[in-house]
């Protein structure tokens, strides 16, 4: 069964979930269209706001790829072109498709696009919206999640690491929690599958730094007890 429809044109590569239908629609990636008919979802994300739109197939999220870190001071949203399948949007779409297919808590990928301009390209991705979710950062700003939620975050991270998933930007903004306490990871830009190794500990250390940063920004203190519960949930494995 074909699960992706690919569209090619001059300087353009796009793919989308076959369940949407056979046709490619440029409006899926038209940010002005989304601004007029949708809404910003989270303008606090470090690499720009993402937008939501109620579509006939459900509610979708559009994210444009922006540079992060020191490089973003000089280059906003362009990347070196080394082939369509190596573009960030296509790689993330295919990884999300795989992770969603094995039951990991990620948004279902809808469509991805890359537009080439000579030696560089720009990219976008569309995923399903995860309803009734808030970021861990938002929870921290409101006093923090409860003990069961901290443990659930740890168990969820362990599931991803056991599956060999290295999330390259594991932070408090990319962990979403729904009203029932379910935990999801989002923004798999530049993520990859790897054999077990020290990278998993580096990922949790990155998250700890992010939690400390959020605490400083809100003028509070790092939740050491919450972190202890997270680590205990992580050590307990995916089935604890």
Q: What is the 3-state secondary structure (H, E, C) of 124-180?
A: EEEEECCCCEEEHHHHHHCCCCCHHHHHHHHHHHHHHHHCCEECCCCCCCCEEEECC
pLDDT class for 230, splitting at 50, 70, 90? very high
Strand-pair partners of 115: 12, 122
Max mean pLDDT among 46-55, 65-74, 191-200 falls in 191-200
Annotated catalytic residue: which of 42, 169, 189, 223? 169
pLDDT class for 48, splitting at 50, 70, 90? low
Q: Residues near 222 by Cβ (< 8 Å), separated by ≥ 6?
A: 211, 212, 215
pTM, 2 dp: 0.91
pLDDT above 60 (res 1): no
Clarify whether 169 is annotated catalytic.
yes
pLDDT recorded at residue 46: 45
Strand-pair partners of 165: 193
d(CA 56, CA 140): 34
């Amino acid at each position: 069964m074909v699960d992706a429809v690919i569209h090619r044109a001059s300087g353009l590569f796009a793919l989308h979930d076959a369940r949407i239908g056979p046709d490619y629609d440029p409006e899926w990636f038209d940010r002005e269209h989304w601004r007029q008919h949708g809404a910003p979802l989270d303008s606090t994300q470090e690499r720009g706001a993402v937008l939501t739109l109620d579509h006939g197939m459900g509610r979708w999220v559009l994210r444009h790829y922006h540079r992060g870190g020191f490089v973003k001071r000089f280059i906003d949203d362009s990347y070196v072109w080394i082939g369509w399948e190596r573009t960030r949007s296509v790689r993330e779409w295919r990884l999300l498709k795989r992770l969603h297919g094995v039951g990991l808590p990620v948004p279902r990928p809808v469509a991805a696009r890359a537009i080439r301009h000579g030696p560089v390209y720009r990219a976008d991705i569309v995923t399903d919206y995860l309803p009734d979710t808030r970021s861990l950062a938002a929870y921290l700003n409101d006093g923090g999640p409860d003990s069961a939620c901290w443990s659930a975050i740890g168990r969820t991270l362990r599931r991803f690491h056991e599956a060999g998933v290295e999330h390259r930007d594991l932070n408090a903004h990319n962990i979403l929690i729904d009203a029932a306490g379910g935990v999801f990871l989002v923004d798999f830009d530049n993520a990859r599958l790897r054999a077990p190794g020290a990278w998993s500990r580096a990922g949790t250390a990155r998250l700890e730094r992010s939690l400390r940063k959020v605490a400083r920004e809100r003028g509070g203190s790092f939740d050491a007890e919450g972190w202890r519960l997270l680590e205990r949930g992580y050590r307990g494995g995916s089935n604890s």
